[in-house]
Amino acid sequence: MKISGLALKKLIKEQLTDLSSGNEKISCPSATQDIKMNTDNRNAARENHSYGPLNPAKPSIEFWQSIAEKWNATTDEAMSSRCANCVAFDESPRMKDCMPLVDEELDRKFPDDVPGLDKSQHPIQFGYCWMHHFKCLSVRTCDTWAGGGPITDNETSNKWQTKTGVDT
Ligand code: SF4
């Protein structure tokens, strides 16, 4: 395909603008596009890092107590530490574009607050986990949770992708 000088100039200008604004387009992480990879990684997070609870709409007291014990924390502290506020939880616009339709049905599945979490502060949604590489649910957690999240902007999302070396 032949590209005109004018079109080429426009393309270069757009790329430079993206780069200078930190919006350079990098590919979606493979696990957002490959259902089997996502499922395998989620199962590994369940088995090795206690990703859960299975049903966040239920109290799941045993689950939260076991997480609290691992962290030497109270059950309330454990229940307030969710993917939603984990440093590795990516809900940036560009990541949402990588995972279209993924949040459909969540309002129907979780019409009310889940135990221990206020929906008005932490919406129930999927994000991408940069530690374990799968689509994780904001109201769950795992034993590698770390505060400081979520990731809400494309620039930080891109940095995580570069840092983790996934599909770059
Ligand atoms: S590392 Fe963070 S975002 Fe990933 S599953 Fe664990 S709590 Fe959720």
Domain ranges across the chain: 31-164
pLDDT at 7 (0 to 100): 45
Ligand 1 site, residue 131, Cβ cutoff 6 A = yes
What's the burial of 141, exposed, middle or buried (CB within 10 Å: 0-12/13-18/19+)? buried
pLDDT at 112 (0 to 100): 83
Task: For residue 136, report the distance from its CA to the centre of ligand 1, in Å.
Answer: 7
Task: For residue 4, report the distance from its CA to the centre of ligand 1, in Å.
Answer: 47
Average model confidence (pLDDT) across the chain: 87
Cα 87 to Cα 26: distance, rounded to the nearest angstrom: 20
Please choose from 42, 43, 48, 51 the residue to mutate so as to test ligand 1's pocket, defined by most ligand atoms within 8 A of CB. 51
Mean pLDDT for the stretch of residues 114-137: 92
Q: Which residue has the tokens 């502060």?
A: 121
Mean pLDDT for the stretch of residues 42-56: 97
SS3 50: coil
* Number of other CB atoms surrounding residue 103 within 10 Å: 17
Q: How confident is the model at residue 81 (pLDDT cuts 50, 70, 90)?
A: very high
Mean pLDDT for the stretch of residues 84-109: 94
User: What pTM, to 2 d.p., does this model score?
Assistant: 0.85
Task: For residue 2, report the distance from its CA to the centre of ligand 1, in Å.
Answer: 46
Task: For residue 157, report the distance from its CA to the centre of ligand 1, in Å.
Answer: 15
> Which carries the bigger pLDDT value, residue 166 or residue 44?
44
Ligand 1 site, residue 95, Cβ cutoff 6 A = no
Beta carbons of 110 and 124 less than 8 angstroms apart: yes
User: Please, what is the end-to-end C-alpha distance for the chain in angstroms?
Assistant: 26
